[in-house]
Structure 1
Amino acid sequence: MTRVSQPHAELEALLDRIPVLQGHPRTVVELPGGLTNQNLHVTTPVGDHVVRRFRGDAALLGIDRDAEHLNTLAAAAAGVGAPVVDYRPDLGVLVIAYLDGMTFDNASFAVPGNVPRVAEACRRLHAGPRFHGDFDMVRRRTAYRRTVAERGYALFAGYDDHEAAWQRVAAALAVDAPTSVPCNNDLLAGNIVDDGSRLWLIDYEYSGNNDPAFELGNTATECELDDDQVAELTACYFGRETRRDLARVRLQALASQYGWSLWGAIQASASDLDFDFLAWGQERFDKAAATFRSPDLERLLEEVTSGG
């Protein structure tokens, strides 16, 4: 993380407009990550907060900042999200309480007991108040693909070659789809915080009511879980081990890869951040393409639609 001991004038003026931070000496540390936010850990004599400064084209990326605020409140009410301190859309800022704990990385999932803890944290979130708005990667991928086409953004070679297979995946996921639940939809390892006794889930930019299997599948692929870990996460979440549940999680992981890869393509053309979004998207597309070409796809489609 980067310490910002003497914030520049613009940032100083911004923080002075946030009531909880006004009139206090401050230490500001920029937290890592945050491709569509700048996250600042601000310490004052009266408390620790995280100031999330919005950046990027929210409409282009399908982000609803008002929904993010409401859903962060709901996650806090569920006992799994950080409390909301202030929301200032006029300033492009959401202020939440700082959670004192260890932020997960991908290796954290290999620590014995952590996979069940992640499953339990997801269940707490999913059992909480319903979110504002829905999230469906099938519809979102269509919107992202349309944006790429309309704006002439560069796309990964061979992306559209898998359209027919993708339609079969979308159709299979629609069969006996479960009731949607409030989902984070972006549970990277860095959005999981361990305070030593329980896990907290943060960052609700892409939150919405969704198939719980997408939450698990997205986490599985973004956190590079191996086959045994994916099976454990699925069984711990559902309280049982069935081929159908596991196949649904794996197909939703595929949906995550194929859909979010387009997010990378859009950001590669639209963002001015010094980050290789094209490589980020290519990595996810390559994962998706491997599954589309795999003989396992037919088995997954059959298990999702026929049960077992």
Structure 2
Amino acid sequence: MSMDVLEAFNAHPELAAICGVLENVLPQNGLTNRVYRLEATRGVFFLRLPRPENAGLVDRQAEEQNLALAAKLGLAPPPLFVFPGAGILLTAAVDDVARAPEGVPGLLGDMLARLHGSGAAFAGVLEPEDVYRAQRGFLDPAVELASEIAPLDRAMRDLAREAGKAGTIRRVPVHGDLSPGNCLWTGDRLWLIDWEYSAMADPAWDLAYAILEHGFSEAQEGAFLDAYKDRQAPTGPVPGAGRLEAMKARCDAVSALWALEQVARGRDAGLFLPFARSRRDRALARVRGLI
């Protein structure tokens, strides 16, 4: 039995009241959190406990508000217990199928359009430039990584100059982290989990991030965007091709800095440094094609 889980149950008796007696605790995959599948006398649950090294990086009050709204929209599993002060979250278990269904890009595009067009007022604002600056601030003392970062800094300054020429962007509620691991496919539906980075933002952020993280081919990207546009049209916020390409570069830059943060925090450089370089180089190539 995991000591982390036992400590959480001891500190929060509400967990035992909901779950009953623990029978089995199974660790799940997770890069930024410790996630456990709990088999207990009152059902099967997922328990999320943040990693200590990531304390303070997420606005847990905003996450709680946004998750409640997403659950009300039928996009996220309803939370059963939330304790923002410690970042604890308990939901009923969602068993995803081993293989995603056919037509994933279209299904995801439609669901994302539902979120963006919902009119929900999420807490917080996600501005890619602000995210990048915050990450850079953390990495400033990591002088050993300066040469890895310098090309990205130049590219992001170029993109910022181009963005200044654009008009006002209407913000919508976004998930913020649409990686495949946060999209759970059951037999008949899709659930979005991990709303830690949800906020109000340019809809291009979610679109670009989903395309990159799911590795959509050109045809799949077209199906994804067509499904999104079909539900949003004619009045919804559908970003143009240039804006979407620029956002892809920003998303890759943020992902690169996130991986470099992990290296700076002492995590496995052999795992995170190659990832950071691949995302950095892809961002740089995209910026060269835009500027």
Q: Per the shorter chain, which TM-score range?
A: 0.7 to 0.9
CA RMSD of aligned residues (A): 2.7
TM-score by length of 2: 0.85
Distance 1:275 1:76 in 2: 38
Equivalent residue for 1:11, pick from 5, 11, 15:
5
- 1:9 Cα deviation (Å)? 4.4
Residue correspondence of structure 1 range 37-76 to structure 2 within 5 A? 37-58=33-54, 62-76=57-71
Paired residues of 1:154 and 1:269 also in contact (CA < 8 A)? no
In 1, distance between residues paired with 2:116 and 2:91?
A: 21
Residue deviations 1:155-177, cap 9 Å, x none?
26353235444233234445124
**Change in 2 beyond 3 A, CA 1:74/1:172:** farther
Question: Measured at CA, do residues 49 and 157 of structure 1 come closer, stay the same or move farther in structure 2, by a change above 3 Å?
Answer: same
Distance 1:283 1:18 in 2: 45
Tell me how far apart the structure 2 counterparts of residues 280 and 168 of structure 1 sit (CA, whole Å): 23
Letter in 2 for 1:124: R
Structure 2 residue 184 is the aligned partner of structure 1 residue 196: no
Choose which of 127, 131, 137 in structure 2 pairs with 1:146. Answer: 137
Q: 1:56-90: per-residue Cα shift (whole Å, max 9, x none)? A: 44466x42122222221121111101101111245
Cα deviations by residue, 1:238-287 (Å, 9 ceiling, x for unpaired): 2379x962322221111000122111111111155797222222221121
Structure 2 residue identity aligned to 1:297: L
- Percent of paired sites with the same residue: 25
Higher mean Cα deviation, 225-234 or 201-210?
A: 225-234
Structure 1 residues without counterparts, runs of 5 or longer: 1-6, 299-308
Q: Bigger shift: 114-123 or 280-289?
A: 280-289
Q: Distance in 2 between matches of 1:91 and 1:131?
A: 21
Q: Distance in 1 between matches of 2:148 and 2:275?
A: 16
Give CA-to-partner distance per residue, 1:115-153, whole Å, 9 cap, x none. 11001111222234221101111111012112211x225
What amino acid does structure 2 have at the position aligned with 1:246? A
Q: Name stretches of at least 5 consecutive residues in structure 2 with no aligned partner.
A: none
> Contact 1:180–1:211 (CA<8 Å) still a contact in 2?
yes
Alignment match, 2:290 = 297
* Equivalent residues of 1:99, 1:195 under 8 A apart: yes
Partner secondary structure for residue 26 of structure 1:
strand
> Residue 77 in 1 paired to residue 68 in 2?
no
